[in-house]
Structure 1
């Protein structure tokens, strides 16, 4: 047996466990979701009725699904833009500026990311409590009683209350990632730009942002997908989709249909839409954020 064949066998043996695990826990469940979306099934009954694409036809006319779709899009756009923008700004400040307590602020910003999403839901549920919550009491102390709200009970603002919790939870994690990328930028680039009269803002847009763009691209795609997942967990723990479905998102509505309303096939149809939407959105983001790689 020649050396090349031995090398190929070795590589195959090394990859085989990973391929088996991915096939069992990712590919097979995904194919099962697509298959089950073609059936009308309660999830527990042994009888399944093949209905083809009927579940998807019902889905198009389902106004609650459309509402969950709108809420998901809103959270993706709002949470992603604000979180990544603030994470970049804080990372730049903590990397470039020299002041006392930098390490302290790094730890403080990262703490929310190590908390369980259930703990975060409990914290913000207490903050948003209309009678004893921190937010309304603080507004009362500042004589801003007119701004006090039922933060988790008002259909017009409850989705924004969820969005704020998501932003608070994620900033620290992405800030640390951007700090690691910014730390590799040579200091000489900033010194040269300072000699030419560039200020901190100009340096951020002309040096920091272009040289961390690959990291931004990666985190952007990752964050959009994680927002879809985390929004379900936060909604489930804080509002259960209420009031009156105003905080329903993709996965919370899928969960209700599949496991609460005993419409498993219909829930799997929603799962197919979520999978397709996530895949297409990731491809679009990768395409529109494609830039020339800067080297230094």
Structure 2
């Protein structure tokens, strides 16, 4: 009987595991293999070069610039995005004034605000990047025009053309396009927390800030931790690549000021026809991503709270 049960379970698992191995594991293995070659990506011919690509990568100034920018994104993006999302979600669910028959409630119009915050998720990141590219235009963009109209012309800047500002402009776009998703996610989590917890805390004299740090955040910690990893992967992956590629000019902005690792992999493979070296950079990106996920999961580990 037990033997038949395990064979039945294995029959269900063999197909998805085989598909996972073919479409996920095998491409990683191939990438690591090609990172030891001088493959151009256009010809079937290549030669094994050992660790030459890795030595070249460690001496590549553009690689280190891209790595620095990617690390900056992976540190700041989750922090700002999740912080804003937690604040908005808390206000929408718990931060409203006391009303008749309900001691704990969200702000008025919270349903509308949830839709408004989530709206950027409906748009493709390419469309969002294009819209903000027009907004940041130094001559006819909405931002500089607004600053001029309100008499703050001295604050006008060539936003995407300034090496000191370009990456932060891209970061603003990524925050704007993703914060709504986490507002809805955290709102769903907060809605499942019993209102009795908040009402008891408020009766004991706790402030809204105290209830957030003593009740809401501990009970949402698993969701926040997962969101942190997810945001980090976005910052190291396609979202950051798309925003930089669409919004900034040249090879990763002025003087590579917005170059990130995914963009550098793309440019090395398809612009420079150095697919072997590009996969080496990709291996470096994989290591950074895994290290980030491991650190977040390790530092965020705590005893699970249930209610």
Instruction: Quote the residue 1:116 is aligned against.
Output: 124
Q: How high is the TM-score relative to the length of structure 2?
A: 0.93
Write the distance in 2 (CA, Å) between the matches of 1:49 and 1:146. Answer: 57
Write the distance in 1 (CA, Å) between the matches of 2:15 and 2:246. Answer: 36
Q: CA deviation at 1:4?
A: 1.9
Q: CA deviation at 1:199?
A: 0.9
Aligned partner of 2:282 among 252, 266, 271:
271
Instruction: Quote the residue 2:89 is aligned against.
Output: 91
Structure 2 residue runs without a partner (length 5+) = 97-105
1:83-232 residue pairs with structure 2 within 5 A? Answer: 83-96=81-94, 97=96, 98-229=106-237, 230-232=239-241
Q: CA deviation at 1:45?
A: 2.1
Instruction: Quote the residue 2:103 is aligned against.
Output: none
Q: CA deviation at 1:41?
A: 1.6
Write the distance in 1 (CA, Å) between the matches of 2:115 and 2:267. Answer: 38
Q: CA deviation at 1:248?
A: 0.5
Q: CA deviation at 1:100?
A: 2.9
Q: CA deviation at 1:239?
A: 1.4
Q: How high is the TM-score relative to the length of structure 1?
A: 0.97
* DSSP 3-state at the match of 2:270: helix
Q: CA deviation at 1:17?
A: 2.1
1:20-35 residue pairs with structure 2 within 5 A? Answer: 20-35=18-33
Write the distance in 1 (CA, Å) between the matches of 2:9 and 2:148. Answer: 66
CA contact (8 A) 2:91 2:107 kept: no
- In angstroms, what is the RMSD of aligned CA positions? 1.1
Q: CA deviation at 1:10?
A: 1.9
Q: CA deviation at 1:107?
A: 0.3
* DSSP 3-state at the match of 1:40: coil
Q: CA deviation at 1:259?
A: 1.2
Q: CA deviation at 1:181?
A: 1.0
Tell me if 1:65 matches 2:63: yes
Aligned partner of 2:36 among 11, 35, 38:
38
Aligned partner of 1:8 among 1, 6, 10:
6
Q: CA deviation at 1:281?
A: 1.3
* DSSP 3-state at the match of 1:30: helix
Q: CA deviation at 1:47?
A: 2.2
Write the distance in 1 (CA, Å) between the matches of 2:31 and 2:44. Answer: 17
Q: CA deviation at 1:222?
A: 1.3
Tell me if 1:236 matches 2:237: no
Write the distance in 2 (CA, Å) between the matches of 1:8 and 1:294. Answer: 33
1:47-66 residue pairs with structure 2 within 5 A? Answer: 47-66=45-64
Instruction: Quote the residue 1:255 is aligned against.
Output: 266
Q: CA deviation at 1:78?
A: 1.5
Tell me if 1:287 matches 2:285: no
For residues 225-275 of structure 1, the C-alpha deviation after alignment (integer angstroms, 9 at most, x for no partner) is 111111011111111512221111000001111111011100000000011
